[in-house]
Amino acid sequence: MYGLQEEPSILVLLLVWALSLLISIAPAKRHFGTIMVGGSPRWAYAVNVPAQLLILPIVFALACHHKRRTVLAWLSGATDATTGRQTYEFMFAYLFAAMLAKDYLLFELSPQVHLHHLACCLGHFFVFTAVPQGVPMYFAGAVALEFGSAFCNLYVLAKTAPGKTWLIPCGAVCFPAITLSHILALYFGCLGVGVVEHVAGQMFYLLLTFAFVVLRQRWVMGEIQAIQLGHQGKMD
């Protein structure tokens, strides 16, 4: 596969991620349980957090460090800064695809989760094959969204925990983080549209970004309203 032979470090990253995932599944099942929440087992929310919160942001930070003085040009799609794919872009390409594919192997996906993964796969394939100059912006936007997904997962774990003791404090931390991830994703999505030549490609790029952001921000607002109503009910 392209990139793996030239850069063995990519294969090392994938192996480390896969090994850490396999090691964490059994304890996650014991601690968080196997009940289905929003189309996924509860333990799956927990095992996704390390890659979303740590591994992907670290890979993106290394990509920025690799570019150093040309990082802004790289993120804005300047031709001289995006010619050829760098190691960290390949790391992201394979890791993100593996993160999606692993769910099909670990549990039966609900239609909602399957639709989400299908949209992610389509966007992933589209950018890397049809709009290579848009990879840096997509890289940044996807990492931002996955960072927000980590806080979504943490909130869901708090919400479904017995007693919901940490629900309000968790929401106070998670909701701003998720919203910030949406702002960053929209910003990089708009930058990405600027480097797509065809109108159809621009619409696909923008609509996919807006769909993810709007749907999840609506979920955030719904959860905030539910917490407020629940708190008000207790006071009454």
pLDDT tens digit at each of 236 positions of the chain: 555 566 778 889 999 999 999 999 999 999 999 999 988 999 999 999 999 999 999 999 999 988 877 888 888 766 554 455 678 998 999 999 999 999 999 988 888 889 999 999 988 998 888 888 888 999 999 999 999 999 999 999 999 998 777 888 999 999 999 999 999 999 998 888 887 777 877 888 788 889 999 999 999 999 999 888 775 445 34
Nearest to 170 by CA among 45, 41, 28: 45
Contact 56, 48 (CB under 8 A): no
- The helix/strand/coil state of 37 is strand
- Which helix (H) or strand (E) element contains residue 40? strand 40-41
- In single-letter form, the type of residue at position 163 comes to G
Scan for tokens 């966007």, then name that residue.
123
- Phi, psi for 48 (deg, rounded to 5): -80, -25
pTM: 0.90
Rounded CA separation 138/151 (Å): 20
